[in-house]
C-alpha cells in the first residue's frame, strides 16, 4: 500500500434534504415508524440511513461494497470470504485487498473480523474512513 499520508485539511458540510409524504428513516425496532424528535416535531434521519443512500448509489454504479442490504442475519466473516472468493478466514494480510476493492470501507471505515495467527485467536480490525456523519 505504500506510504501513509495524513490529511492536512478537513472540511465540513451541512447536508439538508426535504422529504414529503414519506418515511425517510423508519425504525425497524418500532414497527418502522418514523424516527422523531418529539420536542421539535421533526423526523430524524440517522447517519446509517445517509450511508445507505450512498452505498446504494455506488452499488448501482457497479462498485463493490462491504455493507450490503442482505436479508436476514449479516455475517461479516462470510461476507469477507465472498469478497476473497475463497473458503478461508480473512487475515491481516488481506486488508490491502479489502481497501482496494471495497469503496465503502475506504469512505466510511468498517469493523472486520480477522483471523489470528493461532487457532482460537482473532481480532476485530477497526478502520475509520475520512467521511463521517454527526
State pLDDT tens for residues 83-111.
Answer: 998 888 888 889 999 999 999 999 999 99
> Residues near 80 by Cβ (< 8 Å), separated by ≥ 6?
90, 94, 98, 112, 113
Cell readout for 94 is 488481506
Summarised one tens digit per residue, pLDDT across range 7-40 is 677 778 888 888 888 888 888 788 888 888 899 9
> Residues near 121 by Cβ (< 8 Å), separated by ≥ 6?
115
User: Is 23 within the bounds of a domain?
Assistant: no
pTM of this structure: 0.76
Domain residue limits at 100: 46-128
> Residues near 104 by Cβ (< 8 Å), separated by ≥ 6?
51, 54, 55, 58, 65, 66, 67, 110
Please state, for a pLDDT cut of 90, what percent of the chain lies above it: 25
User: Is 8 within the bounds of a domain?
Assistant: no
Total number of domains constituting the chain: 1
Q: Are 130 and 7 in contact (CB under 8 A)?
A: yes
User: Is 22 within the bounds of a domain?
Assistant: no
Q: What is the DSSP letter of 60?
A: H
Q: Is the pLDDT of residue 62 over 70?
A: yes
Amino acid at each position: 500500500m505504500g506510504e501513509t499520508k495524513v490529511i492536512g485539511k478537513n472540511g465540513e458540510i451541512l447536508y439538508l434534504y426535504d422529504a414529503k409524504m414519506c418515511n425517510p428513516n423508519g425504525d425497524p425496532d418500532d414497527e418502522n415508524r418514523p424516527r422523531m424528535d418529539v420536542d421539535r416535531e421533526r423526523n430524524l434521519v440517522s447517519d446509517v440511513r445517509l450511508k445507505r443512500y450512498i452505498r446504494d448509489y455506488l452499488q448501482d454504479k457497479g462498485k463493490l461494497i462491504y455493507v450490503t442490504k442482505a436479508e436476514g442475519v449479516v455475517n461479516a466473516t462470510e461476507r469477507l470470504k465472498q469478497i476473497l472468493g475463497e473458503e478461508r478466514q480473512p487475515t491481516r494480510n488481506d486488508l490491502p485487498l479489502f481497501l482496494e476493492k471495497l469503496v465503502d470501507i475506504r469512505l466510511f471505515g468498517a469493523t472486520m473480523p480477522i483471523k489470528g495467527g493461532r487457532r482460537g485467536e482473532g481480532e476485530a480490525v477497526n478502520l475509520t474512513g475520512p467521511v463521517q456523519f454527526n
